[in-house]
Chains A and B, each alone.
Chain A
């Protein structure tokens, strides 16, 4: 395991981490509740983007259906809450288990294909999940499901308290990032990255490439399921729209914007994307009119994303 070096991108990552930790203090001092609400959402989606980065950036698996796990994690919480199981000790493990199971099935079938076909088949599975959720008439169908009570952790932590919930989300994000960092630098992670660079060679020296890929795919799906459970608690609501393919596109944008294959990139990407969206939509109703071409320009002129600009890319 290598220790992080002091360079521009690590300095930025450290500053952003510190700012995220201190944000509730700022919010309490200035009485700006809005910024805390905004950043709770950002932190949750950053976790989802980080999990996508694990398969996309390190594993070379371009999943275009990652938002499905956000919905699955969210629906697990929402449905259990609606059926009277309010305890987070039941809801969250179920959310993770169902996400993992979905990832296992999708991964096992999708990993038979490569390239654009992989992009499309993951998209197809996410669309299927979207339509299943739309058809759950018992749980709101198209209109979505209101979560009347946030997950209950038996007095350990109160999710309805803004600050406590924010720190829980932040802890999940840091925990997720640490896990991804450990995975990427482990033997397992090195094999996965080796498969991304040259699958045949890894096969030839005796690694069962697809098994490694599949495990990686399932881990990423599970982490994103956690983000989904957090998101449902944050909005007190879950709807099929969370899983729509444009949401998966948003997650991809965050990863690429921040810098694919850089540990902290997706966090930066999520912050920049969502803050920009917020600022632009305050400035004009037609924020996408600016955001769209901006994305195009980033792709054309800033390969490797923001972390790439800061001078550290892992991109193959």
Chain B
């Protein structure tokens, strides 16, 4: 039973992390109609920046804050120099161009930091287990990820639903030309949204960094998961991304934790040990395929253009 609670929390934590990544992606997708494969690279850069700055300053909090700023800046520069010229182009062009950026970032990281991975050590106060309910301990750091991600999600909700800039973002998502015609500086708005998305991806990357190693290509697998999430949730819908991210995070984690045992009860040992890893990795994609077949627009489609 404790194992189930622990895995549920792990799933929630993973799902929230995925949400941070997917939120930026779905904003950029929904508002600029831009498919950004390089989003995973920003996630990777966030992790590398954090590992570097934390080692440099010696402070976890200061280092990660600097890394967050650096990713935000990188996103804005990237948008300003290259990506803004791709808005309004064919999705395929965007896929190709940002695919090129992935190649670029992977090799740039290899050149700067070397091919070996980096580790981002946690400060002592984050490594202690916390007793969440009597008898159940959970790592403080993972708990912190959950809290931070929930806070960011709440903040994002407030910004998008309650502020003027959020109103512009929503208006931009439903009709770009119209808000441009109403005298809003869309170029600036787009740059801001892209920077926000980049910072969210960087945040996800640097929070994941202490759990996994910081390495080249770390953004690629998780990028595909983030795409799966925004497709399941409905492109452009932050609420959909949130629901789908938690759903996907929990299903993925629970599948990996419990599917092998479940299969062993049904199948023979050898067959189960072959099928389980494949099935648990596939579960998410299977889910997406089913959702797309049943509801081709995703579960929570954003307002129609």
Contacts and interface: CB of A to CB of B under 8 A. Distances in A.
B282 interface: yes
A121 B278 contact: no
B286 A128 contact: yes
Interface in B262-286: 273-275, 277-278, 281-282, 285-286
Interface string A262-292: 0000000000000000000000001111011
A250 to B, nearest CB: 9
B116 interface: no
A299 B96 contact: yes
Given A120-B231, A246-B220, A289-B108, A131 B102 contact: no
Contacts of B105: 292
A154 interface: no
Interface stretch (B16-24, B87-95, B170-178): B87-95
B292 interface: yes
Contact of B277 (A134, A286, A294): A134
Contacts of B258: none
A132 B283 CA distance: 11
Interface in B89-112: 89, 91-93, 95-97, 99-108, 110-111
Given A117-B292, A289-B104, A299-B86, A131 B278 contact: yes
B288 interface: yes
Interface string A223-254: 00000000000000000000001100100110
A137 B277 CA distance: 10
B100 A289 contact: no
A120 B228 contact: yes
A197 to B, nearest CB: 15
B85 interface: yes
B151 to A, nearest CB: 30
Contacts of B231: 116-117, 120-121
B274 A64 contact: no
Given A117-B296, A121-B288, A291 B96 contact: no
Interface in A190-229: none
B293 interface: yes
A292 B292 contact: no
Contact of B274 (A112, A137, A249, A252): A137
Contacts of B97: 295-296, 299-300
A135 B107 contact: no
Contacts, number: 139
Interface residues on A, range: 35 or more
Contacts of A245: 220, 224
B111 A291 contact: no
Contact of B100 (A64, A112, A120, A291): A291
A63 B235 CA distance: 18
B130 interface: no
A292 B101 contact: yes
Interface in A93-110: 109-110
A227 B283 CA distance: 29
Interface string A132-174: 1011111000000000000000000000000000000000000
A249 B289 contact: no
B36 to A, nearest CB: 12
A112 B296 CA distance: 7
A169 B75 CA distance: 44
Contacts of A20: none
A115 interface: yes
Interface string B34-73: 0101000000000000000000000000000000000000
A293 interface: yes
Contacts of A109: 289, 292-293
Nearest to A294: B100
Interface string B203-221: 0000000000000000010
A127 B100 contact: no
B292 A113 contact: yes
A256 B289 CA distance: 27
A124 B228 CA distance: 8
Contacts of B29: 116
Given A112-B296, A116-B235, A138-B274, A292 B111 contact: no
Among B103, B107, B285, the one with the most A-chain Cβ atoms within 10 Å of its Cβ is B103
A39 interface: no
Given A112-B293, A117-B231, A117-B296, A287 B107 contact: yes
A92 interface: no
Nearest to B94: A299
A142 to B, nearest CB: 10
Contact of A295 (B89, B100, B110, B224): B100
Please list the 4 inter-chain residue pairs (A to B) with the smallest Cβ-Cβ separation, ordered nearest first: A292-B104, A295-B100, A135-B278, A292-B103
Interface of A: 56, 62, 64, 109-110, 112-117, 119-121, 123-125, 127-128, 131-132, 134-138, 245-246, 249, 252-253, 256, 260, 286-289, 291-296, 298-300, 303
